[in-house]
């Protein structure tokens, strides 16, 4: 019967840590927006929850020197966070640019190809009909627009 209190304690601990977690926004390759509590490449930090220390909120500073130190630390932390966000944005932009280039390359290949095929279950080539090729090209163009933005060529 000791298992139930242990499980309850673990669940409460997990809920408390989740309440203080950062929230990240990520746009996947299909353009779907996803939110997560873990950083992934290309994710943007949209909400940060940091627990406040009881000593800073319960006691007032007695001299001007201690009050300027936390302000300086906070300002330094904000600058560091801003720099980190800028580097993350640069990484996101680089990945988006790479994905856009790949989508454009695939689209160009589908336009230039006279015949398009897919591999069958045994590795043999199964050539697409004219209608299937046109559908493939439309899908490739839509992927370019979704990845690079509308009006991209």
Q: What is the pTM of this model?
A: 0.46
Binned at pLDDT 50, 70 and 90, residue 20 comes out as: low
Distance, CA of 152 to CA of 104 (rounded, Å): 9
Q: Which pLDDT score, from 0 to 100, does residue 64 have?
A: 46
Residue 31, both tokens? 């353009």
| Range of the structural domain that residue 92 is part of | 20-32+71-153
In a domain, 107, yes or no: yes
Question: Is the distance from CB of 23 to CB of 46 less than 8 angstroms?
Answer: yes
Asked if residue 26 is part of any domain, the answer here is yes
Query: How many separate domains does the chain show?
Result: 1
Residue 34 pairs in a beta bridge with 26
Question: What is the distance between the alpha carbons of residues 103 and 72, in angstroms, rounded to a whole number?
Answer: 46
146 lies in a domain? Answer: yes
């Amino acid at each position: 019967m000791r298992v139930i209190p242990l499980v309850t304690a673990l669940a409460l601990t997990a809920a408390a840590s989740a309440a203080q977690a950062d929230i990240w926004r990520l746009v996947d390759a299909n353009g779907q927006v996803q939110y997560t509590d873990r950083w992934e490449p290309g994710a943007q930090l949209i909400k940060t929850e940091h627990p406040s220390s009881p000593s800073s909120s319960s006691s007032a500073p007695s001299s001007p020197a201690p009050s300027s130190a936390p302000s300086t630390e906070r300002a330094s932390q904000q600058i560091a966070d801003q720099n980190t966000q800028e580097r993350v944005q640069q990484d996101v932009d680089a990945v988006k640019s790479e994905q856009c280039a790949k989508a454009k390359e695939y689209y160009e290949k589908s336009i230039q190809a006279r015949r398009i095929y897919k591999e069958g279950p045994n590795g043999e080539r199964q050539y697409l009909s004219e209608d299937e090729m046109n559908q493939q090209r439309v899908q490739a163009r839509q992927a370019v627009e979704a990845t690079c933005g509308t009006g991209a060529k």
